[in-house]
Amino acid sequence: MMNMMKKQNRSTVVSVLLCIALPLTPYTLLTGCALPHVPSRVVYEDPVNYVRLELDKTVLDEWPQGHFSHPATLTKELIETILLGLKVQEHRITPQQWIQGEAPIVQVFSDEEVRLLAAQLAEGLAEARYNERVTFYLSQPLTFFRRTITTGGIYVQGNELHLLLGNWQMIYSVPAYGMIYDRRYPMRPTAAKGFDLLFEPADAVIPQESSWVDEMFANAKDELVIDMSKVEASAPPSVSAPPATL
């Protein structure tokens, strides 16, 4: 009896590990290991872009201190200022910097993307519940099976705007078995990020602690916490050319 229970437990553990290690392979389809569904509500959607309200299961009903300050009223102009102030820089470790120097700092969003997102994010924040993030997905088709994507999400707590950039100008190839992973999970990276997310003015950024593991895999600077009172007091950045590709 004990041996049978041990075999069953071992089989269960192996199945779970395979589901974790192979989340995007045909194995998950054959064994019934399904990727979790994230409940969401559509704010805006066209054939290649969307803005949605996505449930955050880490926000608990019984813990009001962790609730988002939603619905939140942010003007389109303030969101434009924030989006234009976002920059990215290729993450280079010290030996790379010795050889190549520091990577250039470029704008995250093009002017067209800012115009699209500002109004839709403002609407999303105005409709969001205390446990919903506003997520966004922008894509540019390259071929029938390949596209360039920029994804992420935002939420408000008090006077702080939290913004995570899941993917930035990442080339995503749809697998042969058809799992549309990038559209389903905009907050999650589809590959190693390799970039640092920055904001101007820099004094509006509230520093956050990160682990050495995040530093190693360039995930330490993919999320920003912005003091919106300091953004409101500053002059909006001038509109510049579309961002360059690293």
Contact 126, 40 (CB under 8 A): no
Nearest CA to 150 among 88, 96, 98, 69?
A: 88
Give the three-class secondary structure for 54. strand
Please give the structure tokens belonging to residue 19: 């589901």
Q: Is residue 246 part of a domain?
A: no
29 shares its domain with 44: no
Nearest CA to 87 among 204, 182, 189, 185?
A: 204
> Helices in 22-110 by DSSP H: which ranges?
26-31, 76-85, 94-100
Instruction: Please report, rounded to a whole number, the percentage of residues in the chain having pLDDT higher than 90.
Output: 53
Each residue's pLDDT tens digit, 176-204 = 775 677 788 898 888 777 788 999 999 99
pLDDT score of 190: 84
pLDDT score of 242: 45
Q: Is residue 245 part of a domain?
A: no
Beta bridge partners of 162: 155, 225
- What does the DSSP assignment read for 199-235? ESSGGGBPP----HHHHHTT-TTSEEEEEHHHHHTSP
Cα–Cα–Cα angle for 42, 45, 46, nearest 5°?
A: 165
172 shares its domain with 72: yes
Considering only residues 118 and 174, tell me which one the structure prediction assigns the higher pLDDT.
118
125 shares its domain with 58: yes
Q: Is residue 147 part of a domain?
A: yes
Indicate whether 71 pLDDT > 60.
Answer: yes
Domain carrying residue 203: 37-232
Please give the structure tokens belonging to residue 214: 């995040």
91 shares its domain with 159: yes
Q: Is residue 204 part of a domain?
A: yes
Q: Is residue 172 part of a domain?
A: yes
13 shares its domain with 81: no
73 shares its domain with 177: yes
Ordered strands of the 86-90 beta sheet: 105-107, 86-90, 195-199
18 shares its domain with 52: no
Q: Is residue 54 part of a domain?
A: yes
25 shares its domain with 74: no
Each residue's pLDDT tens digit, 19-44 = 434 444 443 443 344 556 677 899 99
The tally of domains found in the chain comes to: 2
Q: Can you tell me the distance from the alpha carbon of 242 to that of 246, in angstroms, rounded to the nearest whole number? A: 13
What is the rounded average pLDDT for all residues in the chain?
A: 78
27 shares its domain with 137: no
114 shares its domain with 20: no
148 shares its domain with 190: yes
Beta bridge partners of 105: 89
Q: Is residue 237 part of a domain?
A: no
24 shares its domain with 45: no
Q: Is residue 240 part of a domain?
A: no
Q: How many CA atoms lie within 13 A of 183 on its CB side?
A: 17
